[in-house]
Amino acid sequence: MNRVMKLFVFLSVSFVFLNSCNRPSEGSRKAGEHIKNIVSARVETIATPQSRNEDSADDPAIWINRQTPEKSIIIGTDKKGGMITYDLQGKELSYYVTGSMNNCDLRYGLQFIGDTIDILAASNRTYHSISLFRIRENGILDTLHARIIKSEMTDEVYGLCMYKSRQTGKFYVFMNSKAGEVEQWELIEIENKIDAKLVRSFLLGSQTEGMVADDEKGLVYIGKEETGIWKFDAEPGGSTDGEYIMQSSEENDNIKYDVEGMAIYDTGNGNGYLVVSSQGNYSYAVYERQGKNKYLGSFRISDGKIDGVEETDGLDVTNIPLPGFQKGILVVQDGFNYDGRKKQSQNFKILSWADIEILLQKNVN
């Protein structure tokens, strides 16, 4: 081989080698490298049954089994086909072929034909609708909606969260679209099925997705992917003037759009944390739940026994003690799931909240 050929072979081999160990979107990883608070996942779920190159997993919800906490489950959406349930060890329990499910959320204690049930709602992009499920005591999901509850939004259905009013006891589903339309649906019982009626809709004007309601305070947080987080009155008769959460935009050096999944960690007495995925730099921002939602700091989830987490869409958190997790868990979607150097399809990671609390107590960025 002449020198040019040798150089070519060397460069080709180097390129293949670098490609095999360089994970995707290194730029986004670098964008968050200044964030020094780091934790690792404790458990990961089985990967979705989709191709490793698909954006499949999206949003998790944690269902607590109050009788047998160790039998609590993680419910995750698969944008390429349905809903998946996992046990706390990450093992898949069931796969439900229900359509392209985007976001999901759940609430406990809905009165339904003389029974008290737990209910899961999910945004269904296949049918442009809200899918509703009863969560059985054994963690099995039963379809519950009386009909296809079709959205009136002009753009594709996208983000979703539930809200249980402390004022009226009513259950609601908030859903938004890629065009920033927001709908609020009230759940109603019709002929032994659950139906929903549209009680409010408003426009936010740019792409929305992540949402979470604070039932105790009667508030709903809505993330605009490329501007930050707004807080609204969650009652259907409430004002549609939002309050902007300071330091939820890219003016905060630790935030990089998109602003994605959000969840609330309750520490009691109306206090706690609002946890938000800052998707563009593979990190998570934490705000106070109370008052003006002061920004507290950010953290990343890096490689440990389990691969680190990148480009999180949805997340959920609970303060309920679970076996091995006395302070509860944070569950996040992982955009790039690796086992060693081998890329797998996407999955969800389970973190110990106690690990995150240590970072919050250090209170450093």
Binding string, residues 261-300; x marks residues near Ca ion by CB under 5 A: ----------------------------------------
Q: Does 123 bind Ca ion (CB under 5 A)?
A: no
**8-state DSSP, 311:** S
Candidates 214, 313, 330, 348; binder of Ca ion (CB under 5 A) is: 313
C-beta closer to Ca ion: residue 89 or 326: 89
Which 34-63 positions form the footprint of Ca ion (CB under 5 A)?
55, 59
User: Cα–Cα distance between 285 and 298 in angstroms, integer?
Assistant: 4
Q: How many residues bind Ca ion (CB under 5 A)?
A: 10
User: Cα–Cα distance between 348 and 333 in angstroms, integer?
Assistant: 4
Candidates 339, 362, 363, 364; binder of Ca ion (CB under 5 A) is: 339
Distances (CA, A) of 97 to 85, 159, 347, 360: 12, 20, 17, 39
DSSP string, 68-131: -GGG-EEEEEETTTEEEEE-TT--EEEEEE-S-EEEEEEEEEEEETTEEEEEEEEEETTTTEEE
Q: Return the sign of the alpha-carbon dihedral for residues 110, 115, 117, 121.
A: negative
Q: Does 181 bind Ca ion (CB under 5 A)?
A: no
C-beta closer to Ca ion: residue 298 or 333: 333
Any alpha helices (H) in the chain, and if so which ranges?
Answer: 3-21, 26-31, 353-362
CB of 261 to Ca ion, least distance (A): 6
Candidates 163, 221, 257, 336; binder of Ca ion (CB under 5 A) is: 336
Half-sphere exposure of 336 (CA within 13 A, CB side): 21
CB of 342 to Ca ion, least distance (A): 9
What are the φ and ψ backbone dihedral angles of 11, each rounded to 5 degrees?
-65, -40
Candidates 118, 209, 215, 266; binder of Ca ion (CB under 5 A) is: 209
Which 135-164 positions form the footprint of Ca ion (CB under 5 A)?
none
CB of 362 to Ca ion, least distance (A): 24
* Letter string b/e over residues 251-282, b meaning 16 or more CB atoms within 10 A of that residue's CB: ebebbbbbbbbbbbbbeeeeebbbbbbbbbbb
CB of 127 to Ca ion, least distance (A): 19
Q: Locate tokens 């020094």: which residue?
A: 36
User: Which residue stretch of 1-9, 129-137, 169-177, 205-213 sits at the interface with Ca ion (rule: CB under 5 A)?
Assistant: 205-213
What are the φ and ψ backbone dihedral angles of 269, each rounded to 5 degrees?
55, 30
Candidates 43, 334, 350, 356; binder of Ca ion (CB under 5 A) is: 334
* 221 token code pair: 């947080």
Distance of CA 2 to the CA centre of its chain: 55
CB of 335 to Ca ion, least distance (A): 5
Quick one: which of 106, 104, 71, 63 has its CA closest to 89? 71
Largest CA distance in the chain: 84
Task: Please check whether residue 137 is in contact with residue 67, taking contact to mean a CB–CB distance below 8 angstroms.
Answer: yes
CB of 77 to Ca ion, least distance (A): 9
What are the φ and ψ backbone dihedral angles of 359, each rounded to 5 degrees?
-65, -40
Candidates 105, 183, 235, 266; binder of Ca ion (CB under 5 A) is: 105
CB of 308 to Ca ion, least distance (A): 5
C-beta closer to Ca ion: residue 11 or 160: 160
CB of 181 to Ca ion, least distance (A): 15
Q: Does 337 bind Ca ion (CB under 5 A)?
A: yes
C-beta closer to Ca ion: residue 125 or 193: 125
C-beta closer to Ca ion: residue 55 or 146: 55
User: Which residue stretch of 29-37, 98-106, 108-116, 187-195 sits at the interface with Ca ion (rule: CB under 5 A)?
Assistant: 98-106
C-beta closer to Ca ion: residue 186 or 313: 313
CB of 215 to Ca ion, least distance (A): 14
Candidates 118, 181, 215, 307; binder of Ca ion (CB under 5 A) is: 307
Contact residues for Ca ion (CB under 5 A)? 55, 59, 105, 209, 307, 313, 334, 336-337, 339
